[in-house]
Amino acid sequence: MDDFDVESLLERVRKVLRKEFSSKELLMQNARHGMIGGWIISKSFDGLSGMERQRKVWRLFEKYLVERDRLRIVGFHTFTLYEKRMAFDNYYDDFEMPARRKPSPRKKTSTVRRARDGARKK
């Protein structure tokens, strides 16, 4: 691909995405070699499948960006607010069903320590 200004491409893509999403829902970056990508975290994805989310994003690109710009987009990850919290905020216990979640009575120790302590008891 020929030389061009990646920052201007980022700005054009950001302007297109702002037609549907707020600035705080967008995280974009230079993905190297003149390509860009990013993340969109939006409540508007609630209830949509991954395919429906991608269609929503790419319809914007198809409507408002020239093909040359679209070819430089690696992709955008799409998350609901809940998914973002699960993926990035380390609240993985929320995926468990409340009825199944039981506190562990045993103190957690590393496998190495348990193996070493077990060897001492023999």
Residue ranges for the chain with pLDDT beneath 50:
1-2, 92, 94-101, 111-112
What pLDDT does 105 receive? 57
Domain ranges of the chain: 6-121
What is the reported pLDDT for 32? Answer: 87
72-104 burial, b at 16+ Cβ within 10 Å, e below that, comes to bbeebbbbbeeebebeeeeeeeeeeeeeeeeee
Which pLDDT does position 88 carry in this prediction?
A: 75
pLDDT at 94: 46
DSSP for 37-73, written as a single string: EEEEE-GGGTT--HHHHHHHHHHHHHHHS-HHHHTTE
What pLDDT, on the 0 to 100 scale, is given for residue 96?
44
Can you name the CATH fold of 6-121?
GMP Synthetase; Chain A, domain 3 (3.30.300)
Give the pLDDT score at 101. Answer: 45
Considering only CA atoms, which of 73, 25, 78, 20 is closest in space to residue 50?
A: 78
